[in-house]
A and B are shown apart, each in its own frame.
Chain A
Amino acid sequence: MSAIEERDLQRQERFEDDLIMHLERDQFVAETSRPVPRAPLSTRASAWLWALRVFVVLVSAMVIYTFVAGLH
């Protein structure tokens, strides 16, 4: 192994040691890129969320209508 290659390897190892010391395992990009498992939503929770969603969309439509009407 040449001196340059050895120096590169040492630099790489120092870089990796730095990571070893200061990042948690699940902080690495390779780990955070993995999706978390899906959580099952109960029927009741889903129904509440959808009801809230529809309500919010309706009120938003009212606000937008009022905004547009106010322009004229």
Chain B
Amino acid sequence: MSTPELVASPLLGGPLATEEDAARSHDRARVHHARSQRRHWRLLWLLVGPGILAMLGENDGPSMIAYASDGAQYGLGFFVPFIPILFAMAYVVQEMCMRVGAVTHRGYGELVLQRYGRAWGLFGAGDLTLTNLVTLIAEFVAIRVGLAYFQLGAGVAVALGMALVVFTLSGGRYWRWERIVLGLALFNLLFVAAAILVKPDVGTLASSFTFSRFPGGSFNTLLLLLASTIGATVTPWMIFFQQSASADKGMTPTDVRHGRYDTALGAALAAVCGIGALIAGAALLAHGDSGIQGFAGAGFPQALTRVAGGAAGTVFALGLIEAGAVAILTISASTAYAAGECVGATHSFNSSPRGAALFYTANIGVALLAALVILIPGAPLLSIALNANVLATVLLPVSLVLMVMLANDRGLMGRWANRRSTNVVGIAVIAFVGMCGAAYGIDSFLQAVHVVGS
């Protein structure tokens, strides 16, 4: 499909250039310069972004709460090695997204819609909109939880989240948006700081990597934690986001190697920060505090303050605010990409709000809709936050199957199509995610209708 560094000229009868092309070309000029000068670190700096943002964006409010809940209920034993395995799975999926975006220069939504028919494209967009809306509500809840620790209310959470969305969208450049969100995303490392502040036992931490202890407790609770932990690492929005962002960034097949570095770095950082939240949560284990109670208030940070001191609670609260804020930016962006792709309208941060009205409206609109929900008195915020990742896990298999189909499509991908080994791992990931999500959904339903006991 693509010939690396192929030229196109409006003067030679090629495609006409738009403002979006001009902005992307400007970014590509820096990449070409760095590559020609063999400035490897500069090249890496220019090409990282979508992978780190997808991975750290998924280390969002509900995810960090899920990791901390795992730690608070089961300790370190099972989940410390489980989290890196999940992020290795996420790498396999996200690498495919990056590769398809770089080779085809198109987003996931539009490719599915055009290649496999409107029904599949619209199903994917519908699933995405539902899970994104629920997850965005949970992100605002996370910000609210973090702010509640500092005695600030829901109104401040809404104002902060919306101000960030509007601020990052101003400028009409993908590069600007990406760098601002990357800067914010690095504060995910606050969870590592929280882990250090709770002073974990190094011996216990090291022994947890042996994978020896399987968590006890009820079967349904374990399934919930598995499903929500999987939902904390691979979700539909990540698939839409990384493919669309890779295309929007202007990545080409020559950048695939650096795209892999970007995705692997994001996975490693996200795993480390996730384990940080798990360790911080595990500090509550010995104190008989399940941690998730009082989520609508300041649950975890206050519990940590009681157990490990004010610094740990403060850092965890700030981490929740950051996790929620970054996820609001990336998830609303994925919704905007999907809306533009499915309608066939302009969908790029490199376009002005006037040139891509739907893209900008969807970006702000979905965030605003979620923000308004947390202002509703008595809204079941705790349940929404806990179920956001589960719903994402349940809806994920169809998106994953279509992703693997796209990555195998030699008509689109040519020599960049999946290898057999990638397919084997990809199919194993789909089977695992599908089984965990389905097992939780069916078991919970049977309990809810009193067919089986809890």
- Contact indicator A28/B8 (Cβ below 8 Å): yes
1/0 per residue B403-438: CB within 8 Å of A?
A: 001000101100000000000000000000000011
Q: How many angstroms between the C-alpha atoms of A20 and B5 in the bound complex?
A: 9
From known contacts A21-B7, A70-B383, infer whether A39 and B448 are also in contact, taking CB-CB under 8 Å.
no
Per-residue interface assignment for chain A, residues 38 to 63, with 1 indicating a CB less than 8 Å from any chain B CB and 0 otherwise: 11010001000100110110011011
* Distance A59 CA – B346 CA, assembled complex (angstroms): 34
Q: Which of B1, B116, B395 contacts A39 (CB 8 A)?
A: B116
Residues on A with beta carbons closer than 8 Å to the beta carbon of B25: 18-19, 21-23
Chain B, Cβ-Cβ closest to A23: B25
| Interface segment, one of B10-18, B89-97, B311-319 | B10-18
Report A63 CB to chain B, min CB distance, Å.
5
Supplied contacts A28-B17, A62-B444, A63-B441, 16 more A-B pairs, CB within 8 Å: A18-B25, A24-B2, A26-B105, A27-B24, A28-B8, A28-B16, A30-B15, A31-B15, A32-B105, A37-B115, A39-B116, A55-B438, A59-B394, A59-B437, A62-B442, A70-B383
A19/B6 contact (C-beta < 8 A), A60-B394, A65-B445 known: no
The 3 closest A-B pairs by CB, nearest first: A30-B15, A62-B445, A25-B8
Q: Is A69 an interface residue (CB 8 A)?
A: yes
Q: Bound complex: CA of A23 vs CA of B10, how far in Å?
A: 12
B10 lies within 8 A of A16 (CB): yes
Listed A/B pairs (8) with beta-carbon separation below 8 Å: A26-B2, A29-B21, A30-B18, A37-B115, A37-B411, A49-B120, A60-B394, A70-B383
* Contact residues of A: prevailing secondary structure: helix
Question: Which chain B residues (323-375) contact chain A, with CB distance < 8 Å?
Answer: 344, 346
- Does B397 lie at the interface of the complex (its beta carbon under 8 Å from any beta carbon of A)? yes
Nearest Cβ on chain A to B186's Cβ, whole angstroms: 29
Chain B residues near A35: list those with CB within 8 A. Answer: 110, 114
In contact, B395 and A56 (Cβ under 8 angstroms): yes
Chain B residues in 8 Å Cβ range of A15: 17, 22
Q: A31-B15, A62-B441, A63-B444 are in contact. Are A20 and B111 (CB under 8 A)?
A: no
B391 interfacial by beta-carbon distance below 8 Å: yes
Is B28 an interface residue, CB under 8 A from the partner? yes
Interface assignment of A3: CB less than 8 Å from any CB of chain B: no
- Contact indicator A53/B398 (Cβ below 8 Å): yes
Whole-angstrom distance between the Cβ of A46 and the nearest chain B Cβ: 9
Main secondary structure of the interface of B (DSSP, over half): helix
Chain A contacts for B397, CB-based, 8 A: 52, 56
CB-CB under 8 A from A22, the residues of chain B are: 25-26, 28-29, 32
Please indicate the chain A residues that have their CB under 8 angstroms from the CB of B6 in the complex: 24-26
A30→B107 CA distance, assembly (Å) = 15
Interface size class of A (residues with CB under 8 A): 35 or more
Q: Which residue of A lies closest to B10 (CB)?
A: A16
A4 on the B face (CB < 8 A): no
Alpha-carbon separation in the docked complex, A33 to B365 (Å): 24
Q: Are B394 and A41 in contact (CB under 8 A)?
A: no
B309 within 8 A of A: no
| Interface pair A25/B383, CB less than 8 Å apart | no
**Interchain CB contact under 8 A, A23 and B21:** yes
Query: Would A63 and B394 count as touching, CB distance under 8 A?
Result: yes
Cβ-closest chain B residue relative to A60: B394
Are A66 and B444 also in contact (CB < 8 A) when A18-B29, A56-B394 are?
yes
Instruction: Determine how close the nearest CB of chain B comes to the CB of A27; give it in whole angstroms.
Output: 5
B250 part of interface (Cβ distance < 8 Å)? yes
Contact B28–A23 (Cβ < 8 Å): yes
Q: Are B24 and A23 in contact (CB under 8 A)?
A: yes
**B390 contacts A19, C-beta separation under 8 Å:** no
- Asked if A63 contacts B7 (CB within 8 A), the reply is no
Question: Which one of B111, B252, B394, B445 contacts A27 once the chains associate, using CB atoms below 8 Å?
Answer: B252
Q: Are A60 and B441 in contact (CB under 8 A)?
A: yes
Set of chain B residues within 8 Å of A32, measured between Cβ atoms: 105-106, 247
Neighbouring A residues of B117 by C-beta, 8 Å: 38, 41
List of A residues within 8 angstroms of B5 by Cβ: 24
Asked whether any CB of chain B lies closer than 8 Å to the CB of A36, the reply is yes
Check B4 for interface membership: any CB of A closer than 8 A: yes
CB of A71 within 8 Å of the partner chain: yes
Closest Cβ of chain B to A35, distance in Å, is: 4
Query: Are the C-beta atoms of A29 and B15 separated by less than 8 Å?
Result: yes
Q: Evaluate contact between A27 and B441: CB separation under 8 angstroms.
A: no
- Determine the chain A residues whose CB is within 8 A of the CB of B441 once the complex forms: 59-60, 62-63, 66
One of A31, A60, A67 near B383 (C-beta < 8 A): A67
Q: B123 interface residue, CB < 8 Å from A?
A: yes
- Given A62-B441, A63-B444; A24-B4 close (CB under 8 Å): yes
B390 touches A63 (CB 8 A): yes
In angstroms, Cα B344 to Cα A65, docked, is: 34
Residues of chain A with a CB closer than 8 A to B171's CB: none
| Beta-carbon contact of B116 and A41 below 8 Å | yes
| Interface 0/1 of A1-22, CB less than 8 Å to B | 0000000000001011011111
